[in-house]
Structure 1
Amino acid sequence: MDALPLKLTSISSPLPLFFTMYFILYLNAYFILFRAWARKLKPEASSCVISLAHGTPAVFLACRAILSDPAPNFHSPNTPLQNIALDYSIAYFSMDLIHFLIFEPSGVLFIAHHLVSLFVFLTCRYVAYHGAFTVLSLLILAEVTSFCQNVWTLAGARRSDVEFARKVFDLMSPPFYAFYSVVRGLLGPYFVYRMCVFFGNGSADDVIPTWVWVSWVLVAVMIIFVSVLWISNLWMKFYSERSNKAERKIQ
């Protein structure tokens, strides 16, 4: 008789409240903050606003949730604060997924990214009830660059018609690319390697189903691979533009 209340308590969450917050923030950005922007730019800019509201706060919340765990490990039980951190990200990815489905349905990579990210968060929060340390650590690695990326994206959206935006974009590009490369190209793969070693030894088989942790590893590897391709293309474009500018100066 005591097990049922415990189960109900474990699945209660502030998820609807978080989702409502992101929904209202998106509408305010679209209809108020960016009301003077071109119609084709407003959805992407509004998406950046909710991403800003998620990224850095999610990193701090995830760090606090991990540090509050008395015995953090790849397979440790989720703490109440860790569940809140998971719900915060579930709400964001759900809202941003709706944005892409409505305004950018051709953005297949972003839609796929959000779907698999939601899968990881949802299975950790509502299926396994363990492994939040693992998932939140991946979240930190994914979102620690989000502030720079969103400012860079907003500046890039207006760099063709606003001189200040062009300067911000040009100034931020090299350090953002370098920061992103270190996080996604070095720290991310190292952490995923540690995940594979831990889970591969069967250390979590008694609390996390094999199909769950295997899917987490596959999603992490896929996201890192796509991220490395993305940043590699940006570096190539950056050096190509610099080479073209240098050639024009010589001529």
Structure 2
Amino acid sequence: MLLLVLVGLAAVLLVNTLRLPNHQLGPVPAAPAVAVVPDSATAHLAGALRIATVSRSHYAETDTVPFDQFQAYLQRTFPLVHQRLKRQTVNHYGLLYEWPGTDPALKPLLLLAHQDVVPVLPGTESQWTRPPFAGQQAGGYLYGRGALDDKLNVLGQLEAVEALLRAGLRPRRTVLLAFGHDEETLGLRGATALAALLKTQHPQLELVLDEGGLVKADGVAGLTQPVALVGVSEKGYLSLELAATGPGGHPARAHERGPGGRRRG
């Protein structure tokens, strides 16, 4: 009986696999060029890095003034976005933008990012080669908390939409932008509340894209060409107390950390 059940299960899986339609997109024509002011995007991101939107494990300890400043900065920096897109807030700081498409029959596309950054470990300030909240440019690089994780995506998405609006373009599919404010501390007030709001307003989505991973060119045995790391889910967490001496780094790739000290995982 067990063998029959296993064979039946395998047959069902095989049939469902063969029936699954191919969702691979065909060739997509290049979009028309959009005029962008040289280096404006870099300057906008640098300005955002200078606002210390640090989230704390205990929300009562979070300084919310920088988050108010950050929202005001976004409104000044991206005026067309705030004039033409519907903007909603959850728990005051979580942001949801809606850019209506021309075809309401199409399911919306959701892009995610987060506004908050992790604190600088007390006592490590002198280890930073560049101040963590100065948004300094040097040697072709932009330094600061959030330059990669994750104000890069907040500003990048808004920069793209602002440029498209300026060019008079409008998407066929509705585009949603959701920016939480406590992702580094489980996202209970940001992502969780935004998800609940989206469930009531847009229960079906075509695609959801979050911040993603890195493009690795070295550091992994057998890697002979750049490989994009694709994340498909969020992991859980385990709290430990560890003591170590040496250069700081990301928990998953500690040996790769550049200037700036350690990051909590």
- Structure number with bigger Rg: 2
TM-score (structure 2 length as normaliser): 0.27
Structure with the bigger percentage of helix: 1
